[in-house]
Amino acid sequence: MANGQATISFNEQKLKMLIKDSVREGIKAEVFKLRAAFLPYVDDTEQKEIEKKYGKPSRKVAKTYEYAI
């Protein structure tokens, strides 16, 4: 400890991987936000028309993400 501060030592490879993973997570979150922002709005009557024409969507969920915009 120097001046009451704890130090953590990383080798260069571990530090590189930590930074890569952190950047990857941040980019992934931002891409999901962008994709959600560009989804078109569907009102209730339009949704009913879609369901009438193509049937109701399956209740099976493959993956779900929720982001506040």
Whether 42 contacts 50, CB under 8 Å = yes
Q: Where are the domains of the chain?
A: 9-41
Residues 6+ apart with CB under 8 A from 10: 18
Question: What confidence tens digit (pLDDT) does each residue in 2-50 have?
Answer: 566 667 777 888 889 999 999 999 999 999 999 988 988 889 999 999 9
Residues 60 and 30: their CA atoms lie apart, in Å, by: 26
**Residue at token pair 């078109």:** 40
pLDDT at 4: 62
pTM for this model (two decimals): 0.49
